[in-house]
Amino acid sequence: MSLIEAKAVTKNYRMGDVDIPALKSVDFSISEGAFAAFVGPSGSGKSTLLNLIGCLDHPTSGELRVHDTDVSKLSRAESAAFRGEHLGFIFQDFNLVPVLTAYENVEYPLLMVQGWPAEKRRERVTAMLEAVGMKEQMHKRPDQMSGGQKQRVAVARALVGSPKLVLADEPTANLDHDTAYLILNLMKKMRDELGTTFVFSTHDPKIMQEAEITFTLEDGKLAAQGAQS
Ligand code: ADP
Ligand code: MG
């Protein structure tokens, strides 16, 4: 079953009185449970596409279905609710809250939703920190962590609310190569254990080989699609 379905998705950015075409009639589908990557050089449209899938922006035209919802038609409030319910995000620069500990950063999304009694929340947060190998370091703040440790915490934070889909825009761009592989393997392990679909982007040809399916963007067009062996 496909979790993401794009038909003739176009995105133009308006700059003054010119339109900058960032995506040019892109078609693809990503199935549930996939470990998929959008790859391509800087400026090829990766972030634009992830922002559309993540309901952070609307396509200019075309149809984009995520989890059976046409997200191009959602209002601002509906987009926010959809993100909260179904999506998790991992960022290139980790985006942890500097004054909060690892534990508090992972707990934070759960404080935003109803229905998490304190005890259940504590169990969930602790289990997620353990799953990403950060339980021993749960009281550290971001400035006391390495880049790899920060991204582990970010993976736990993205998954703590049990989203259908995690979107990660260049999650390894600020990590050295060995750490990048560890983070991708952690993401894949979490996909295997939880069934969460992961879609990430990278401009690094080596990192792209860790995906099970890749979509290559060139100048806003989908230039190739392939399964990795
Ligand atoms: P990538 O993530 O692959 O580097 P982007 O999606 O960021 O590519 O950018 C695709 C194209 O859209 C580029 O030409 C970029 O300059 C342009 N672009 C991206 N965001 C904006 C914006 N907010 N306003 C105007 N142009 C933008
Ligand atoms: Mg980008």
Structural domains of the chain in order of their starting residue, each with its CATH number = 2-227 (3.40.50.300)
pLDDT for residue 125? 98
Look-up of token digits 């997620």: 128
Please report which residue ranges of 87-176 form alpha helices under DSSP H. Answer: 102-111, 118-131, 147-159
Q: What is the pLDDT of residue 127?
A: 98
In the predicted model, what is the mean pLDDT of residues 91-102?
97
Ligand 2 geometric centre to CA of 46 (Å): 5
Give me the sheet containing 69-70, strands edge to edge: 18-31, 2-15, 61-66, 69-70
pLDDT at 54: 98
What separation in Å is there between the alpha carbon of 127 and the centre of ligand 2? 31
Give pLDDT, residue 80: 95
Any atom of ligand 1 within 6 Å of the Cβ of 45? yes
Q: What is the pLDDT of residue 157?
A: 98
| Interval 159-211: pLDDT, tens | 999 999 999 999 999 999 999 999 999 999 999 999 999 999 999 988 999 99
Among protein residues, the one with the nearest Cα to ligand 1's atom 23 is: 13
Q: Decide: 53 and 45 in contact? Cβ < 8 Å.
A: no
For residue 13 and ligand 1, the question of a CB distance below 6 A is answered with yes
**Closest among 112, 155, 117 to 133, alpha carbons compared:** 155
Measure 53 CA to ligand 2 centroid, in angstroms.
Answer: 14
pTM, two decimal places: 0.96
Q: With a 6 A CB cut-off, is 44 part of the ligand 1 pocket? A: yes
How many Å lie between the centroid of ligand 2 and the Cα of residue 106?
A: 25
Closest to 58 measured CA to CA, from 24, 10, 99: 10
Query: Any idea which ligand is nearest the CA of 170?
Result: 2
Can you tell me the mean pLDDT for 149-153?
98
| 214 Cβ inside 6 Å of ligand 1 | no
**Which numbered ligand comes closest to the C-alpha of 91?**
2
Q: What is the mean pLDDT of the chain?
A: 96
Q: Which atom of ligand 1 is nearest to the CA of 20?
A: 26
The answer to whether 161 and 113 are in contact (CB under 8 A) is: yes
Name the closest-CA residue to atom 16, ligand 1.
43
Mean pLDDT to the nearest integer, 136-151: 98
The pLDDT of residue 229: 65
Work out the average pLDDT over 120-132: 97
Going by alpha carbons, the residue nearest to atom 27 of ligand 1 is 13
Convert the pLDDT of each residue in 16-48 to its tens digit. Answer: 999 999 999 999 999 999 999 999 999 999 999
